[in-house]
Structure 1
Amino acid sequence: MAQPQPRRFAQIVHLKPSAVAAYKECHANVWPEILQKIKECNIVDYSIYFDNDRTLFATFKYIGTDIEADMKNMASLPKMKEWWAMTDGMQESPIPGAVSSAEGPGWWKPLEEVFHTD
């Protein structure tokens, strides 16, 4: 059976100015359980960039076949909820009505891809 074509995702969230150092530090030492769960949930080539102002830009590829199921699987890990609670506290969501990464309409704002080349 052929592998599914990877789907590319890009999204943004805002970083609180007071949290820049702490955010960079926790991502320099990501908990092993978080890295393992990301891999198990078919996410690869995941990067987060900071514009040195307030915006975090994330991009990743999804190589699975059921992203909704994989995202539910990711959210089921208690350590992931702990990670999200920690990092959400350092961020401000641009999504109206956002509650957290674990609940609500979303936390990171999805971006529309307008150009791509292989």
Structure 2
Amino acid sequence: MKRFCLTLDLKNDPELIKTYEHYHSRQAIWPEVIEGIKACGIYSMDIYRADTRLAMILEAQDDFELDAGFAKMSELPRQKEWAALMNRFQQKPPFAKPGEHWVPMQQIFELYGE
């Protein structure tokens, strides 16, 4: 299993943030989005928010490659529609490199029960 942590910012607008969170609720998220995430080899995904900063933690199969997985996901019909919708709410962090959207974070510490 591989684990990844990525970050992204939301636009600083309370109404947009409220709507963004609604779209990610169990009642509102599109089933096709969930299916697409799983079809790309991701089997666990969590998104956390602190103010406008998001952190996404995902777990995937050992052979999962982040860029290839996201590229595959972006080709799915409803994923394209979902991504376009989410772009209304999101903005790249100021430290994002050209072409980055969700920016991979570097792990600097880990603690496991031993």
Report TM bin, short chain: 0.7 to 0.9
1:110 to 98, 104, 114: 104
Secondary structure in structure 2 of the residue aligned to 1:17: coil
State how far apart, in whole Å, the 1-side matches of 2:86 and 2:92 are: 11
**Does structure 2 retain, via aligned residues, the 8 Å contact 1:12–1:55?**
yes
- Which residue matches 2:2? 7
- Which residue matches 2:70? 71
State how far apart, in whole Å, the 1-side matches of 2:5 and 2:69 are: 17
CA RMSD, Structure 1 to Structure 2 (Å): 1.5
Q: 1:69 to 1:93 in 2, by over 3 A?
A: closer
Q: Do structure 1's residue 56 and structure 2's residue 54 form an aligned pair? A: yes
Secondary structure in structure 1 of the residue aligned to 2:22: helix
- Which residue matches 1:102? none
Q: Unaligned regions of 5+ residues in structure 1, if any?
A: 1-5, 98-104
The runs of at least 4 aligned residues of structure 1 exceeding 6 Å deviation read none
TM-score normalised to the size of structure 2?
A: 0.83
Secondary structure in structure 1 of the residue aligned to 2:24: helix
Work out which structure has the larger RCO, using CA pairs closer than 8 Å and 6 or more positions apart in sequence: 2
2:24 to 14, 20, 27: 27
Q: Percent identity?
A: 29
**Does structure 2 retain, via aligned residues, the 8 Å contact 1:41–1:64?**
no
TM-score normalised to the size of structure 1?
A: 0.80
Q: 1:82 to 1:13 in 2, by over 3 A?
A: same
State how far apart, in whole Å, the 2-side matches of 1:65 and 1:24 are: 31
Q: Unaligned regions of 5+ residues in structure 2, if any?
A: none
